[in-house]
Chain A
């Protein structure tokens, strides 16, 4: 252990100044980046760049807005790309429409949009960039629509402007299916509006007619009201109620009974009988009940759509963005050869591309110059970085962690390994089997029973005359319409969806709840799901001040270990004023002079070169870290080993408890990982799993096959849940009964999953499973209510006790019961600490 040392020898004596905060993002500025004498401090170069530009363009008001809106604290990221590939006509085509003469409208998905101030800033772009006419940013989806004039500017210039403001743009391509869904969304709203307006007017006119029934009404007025209500009811039948008829008929064609069939039957019967009665001038009218029913059902569906919107919009905006977008092609030979950013489609095998530090490798190929290390976690699930040098093969989708590489292209697009993988995901999504929903099973019995009752009623009333018999049958069909049934499930589900979203759980497919209640197997990815997915200082042995020194020194390096140190927890209370004589030995460590202390950070060999051997406690700590699967990094101060850090991809703090509780609930938990089997079995053992349940070394294809085997077993009752974050999990997520993408997941997983988490960790998994069980209870209760109502109402209608007025009063009452029952149930609790972040792209 380090000898006690007065704090004065390392930092300024006690009571240090409050840590500086970044003038752009508001985060604490690391001590070594604090610049003495400057009014504004920045946490990173991205923030400094963005702040400078915002100031230069005269948009300082942005910061006042950020304060008002309490914008998220996120350091700005500037990609520094040139975006030349955006000027390619074919690249633009899918994201651009021509509007008017000489104007285009292009859609960008912007990274880093977090609050209203971003909307203000981005929409101010026309004031500083010539040729940009208008910008509209959608805060929910992060998609900006930019109207620009191709003769005055180029798309790459606009993209560079956005990038330099900290919003890295991606061309947002919309597929035909998305266009269709958007049109459907708009039409649904129009239908609801028409239904509500007509229902209100019909209620008012029927009110007059009911009053007339009691106090007498001159027949010309009655005829006027009857005929006008027929006219007002026509748009409800032909326009608003169309979806019910469409699904009912489509269901019949497929020989299935959909819940919409009894609804469509009620609407059709009520309308036909009422229209006949309206024309002939006598007999009951059901127009008001019919319109109310349609308005209530469409309203419930709209509410559910709204609750799903947040999750769907995010998936949609990501679906429009390609995983790999561009490559830096080297044109010509020699060190001075120009580098151009080109779309991937413009690459041919044999081309040479440059991959800079921090960028994704855009193609499958071979390194022809440079040496670096690659992070393949997205592709293979391997946590450790893989060193590459000349002659090594590299795969598209890997992240370059080190120096610049030059790669010879062998395959691009769909022919790369990751391209093939993404194609599998698309395929799996399109073939996901539609499960028979509980409501549909119920609907079939309901329709059978209803038809039986209608026949009985008709025959029983036939002696009273065919007109009376027909009227009784219509009354039965109208009051027995499973309106509350149609309302109860969408409402209960949408309340659950909204509560879940507040807890950081975004559900794209509400049917997932239905499948979740039978869950018996949970498959977990390791890297990025059970663990954070990157190297961190998982354990620390030594004095807090020594960690601060190591962190200050590592701030000078770009190595993966350095990043782990920089992100290490702890407050920067001991300011380091000067850092000098920094020497980095590749593969070993780093050394330097900090405020007069000689500090060395690195492996055993590196530290021993300038310090005495570590004492017993440090050596024991280092040994213990190795046991845990972490790599020990030693820190020596002035010739004495003063601390040991355990660096590695550690388990998330909530992982062990979550797995234990899942198993206590009788759920079979297994790990599916692409990482080395030895690492995976160690993690499995720490979570208490049997060795055969911790599977390592799996390729994405093997993961997919495992899930297929589990879900495809004949006669299975339990559902399979897959939880993951990487592209290598995406196919398995798509094929599992329920796929859950954890926070920080890649675009492909967010598109493939049914549920997306925006909260760190795996603990939300328990909330999801419990929430689904609670939702099931609410739905059952609501079904009970509505079936009881239908039973009583049907009996009354068969006895001839129900007229239009009784129906118009009864139906809202039954619906209201269900609405209250849905709204008052807590399916998902609000988390104690509302740690909901926006999902990162």
Chain B
């Protein structure tokens, strides 16, 4: 029975570590947004498939439009609103 003198403080210590992590997570804002992560997790692992019109881009290749350059307009863009 004397083991309780070691085990009980030890159990409380483990609990304190867990609570410490929770406080850290709360303080660093990890519970700020409870809505988006719930939907974001659904996307993980789904890679976009290269489209037919895309210039044959493969996942590893450096990405297409260079920052600062105007994004190319589509040739069929002539709708009047």
Contacts and interface: CB of A to CB of B under 8 A. Distances in A.
Residue with the greatest number of chain B CB neighbours at <10 A, chosen from A44, A190, A221, A224: A190
Contact of B46 (A61, A154, A201): A61
A119 B67 contact: no
B12 A228 contact: yes
A127 B26 CA distance: 30
Interface residues of A, number: 59
B31 to A, nearest CB: 6
A45 B79 contact: yes
Contacts of B26: 186-187, 189-190, 193
Nearest to B67: A153
A44 B81 contact: yes
B81 A154 contact: no
Contact of A48 (B49, B70, B79): B79
Interface in B2-54: 4-5, 8-9, 12, 15, 18-19, 22-23, 26-27, 29, 31-33, 35-36, 39-40, 42-43, 46, 48-51, 53-54
Interface in A188-238: 189-190, 193-194, 197-198, 201, 221, 224, 228, 231-232
B45 to A, nearest CB: 12
A65 B44 CA distance: 12
A123 interface: yes
Interface stretch (A136-144, A450-458, A523-531, A802-810): A136-144
Interface string B63-74: 111111011111
Interface stretch (A51-59, A424-432, A739-747): A51-59
Contacts of B42: 116
Contact of A59 (B8, B27, B48, B81): B48
Contacts of B40: 116, 119-120, 123
A352 interface: no
B63 A128 contact: yes
Interface string A41-76: 010110011001101111111000100010000000
Contacts of A119: 36, 39-40, 43
Interface stretch (A157-165, A322-330, A534-542, A610-618): A157-165
B42 to A, nearest CB: 7
B71 A164 contact: yes
Given A57-B54, A186-B27, A194 B19 contact: yes
Nearest to A42: B79
A139 B36 contact: yes
A154 B67 contact: yes
Interface residues of B, number: 48
Residue with the greatest number of chain B CB neighbours at <10 A, chosen from A57, A160, A182, A198: A57
B69 to A, nearest CB: 8
Contacts of B4: 221, 224
Contact of B49 (A60, A127, A139): A60
A130 B73 CA distance: 19
Contacts of A690: none
B54 A58 contact: yes
A656 interface: no
B12 A232 contact: yes
A760 interface: no
Contacts of B9: 228
B23 A194 contact: yes
Contacts of A638: none
Contacts of A69: 39
A124 interface: yes
A58 B51 contact: yes
Contacts of A49: 73-74, 77
Contacts of A193: 19, 22-23, 26
Interface in A526-578: 556, 558
Contacts of A132: 67
Contact of A52 (B8, B46, B70, B77): B77
Given A44-B81, A194-B23, A186 B50 contact: no
B35 A186 contact: no
B71 to A, nearest CB: 6
A158 B71 CA distance: 11
A545 B21 CA distance: 68
Given A55-B51, A140-B33, 16 more contacts: A45-B80, A48-B77, A56-B53, A56-B74, A58-B54, A61-B48, A129-B63, A130-B66, A164-B71, A186-B31, A187-B27, A190-B26, A194-B19, A197-B15, A228-B8, A228-B12
29 contacts: A44-B81, A45-B77, A45-B79, A48-B74, A52-B74, A56-B54, A56-B74, A58-B50, A65-B43, A116-B39, A119-B39, A119-B40, A120-B43, A124-B48, A129-B65, A130-B66, A152-B67, A157-B68, A161-B71, A182-B32, A186-B31, A186-B32, A190-B22, A190-B23, A193-B19, A194-B19, A197-B22, A221-B4, A556-B80
Interface of A: 33, 42, 44-45, 48-49, 52-53, 55-61, 65, 69, 116, 119-120, 123-124, 127-132, 136-140, 152-154, 157-158, 160-161, 164, 182, 185-187, 189-190, 193-194, 197-198, 201, 221, 224, 228, 231-232, 556, 558
